[in-house]
Amino acid sequence: MFNLARLNNLVLLVVTIIVFFWTVSHAKRKGLFIRRIAGLDAIDEAIGRATEMGRPIFYSTGIGGMSAIPTIASTSILSEVARKVASYDTQLKVPHFDPIVMTVSKEIVKQAYTEAERPDSYRDDINFFVSQDQFSYAASVDGMIHREKPAACFFIGHFMAESLLLAEVGATTGAIQIAGTEQESQLPFFFTSCDYTLIGEELYAAGAYLSKEPMLLSTLKVQDFGKAFVMFAVGAGSLLLLAGTWFNWQPLLKVVGHIFKAY
């Protein structure tokens, strides 16, 4: 038997599905507006600079596991970076903290080279394992950056105390540095030592921003619409509850309570 008490959840679900498919259709026909993100726009500049100087690009996915959301976001950015690197025939090096992340990244980079029609340029040593000790990993990568002096460094993923150790060495070599992490405590270190830093949800939106895939862009838009709706609903609901309490309108309080009740 249909439970009318849960009708609000059904309506919300139907509206969400309709908005999602509308945004997918709109993205395929006309595209969707996504505000400019300076750190992601600078990727072409960083790769172009490395190509002109004949120096490598270092990309670190951080110390998170493959189940970590920042690591997943980082691998999506790595795919776009690898595709551009392959088209420019530039050297890419991806040192890894986690062997599982390394295995996944190998397939991602290999696929990117294939999509760029440069499978012959792919090498298995692009991705390599370093260490699962936090500071051993940082020391090893620092040494490689100091010796090879890359033209660009990407530090995108889950980072902790090693963030400043990595970024400050890259800064001393004169490399363009683009960083991003979900750890608020590490953002100040990236701000001071990197040229561009992805803040908050910019990290999670990067894959859609770079790939321009209608499905991914639509997901971002639905999230934005959802946040706007929640803000409006909370404000409107608060005002209605205030009015109902002030004037002692019990029917209004009952209706508002039913609408905003979650199961």
pLDDT in tens, 46-70: 999 999 999 999 999 999 999 998 9
Taking alpha carbons only, the member of 204, 209, 203 closest to residue 33 is 209
Question: Quick one: pLDDT at residue 16?
Answer: 81
All residues at 6 or more sequence positions from 252 whose CB lies less than 8 Å from its CB, including other chains? 240, 243, 244
Over the chain, what is the mean pLDDT? 87
Read off the pLDDT of each residue in 105-111 and give the average, rounded to a whole number: 96
Question: Quick one: pLDDT at residue 207?
Answer: 76
Cα torsion at 98, 104, 109, 115 (round to 10°)? -170
* Rg of the chain (C-alpha set): 23
Residues 89-119 as b or e (16 or more Cβ within 10 Å = b): ebbbbbbbbbeebbebbbebbbebbeebebe
* Residue 138 pLDDT greater than 70, yes or no: yes
Q: What are the boundaries of each domain within the chain?
A: 38-211, 213-262
* Residue 263 pLDDT greater than 60, yes or no: no
- Residue length, the chain? 263
Cα torsion at 195, 103, 204, 41 (round to 10°)? 40
Read off the pLDDT of each residue in 111-127 and give the average, rounded to a whole number: 93
* Residue 189 pLDDT greater than 80, yes or no: yes
> Cβ distance 32 to 22 under 8 Å?
no
Read off the pLDDT of each residue in 220-237 and give the average, rounded to a whole number: 83
Give the pLDDT band (50/70/90) at residue 1: low
CATH of domain 38-211: 3.40.50
Measured CA to CA, the distance from residue 166 to residue 156 in angstroms comes to 12
Give the pLDDT band (50/70/90) at residue 2: low
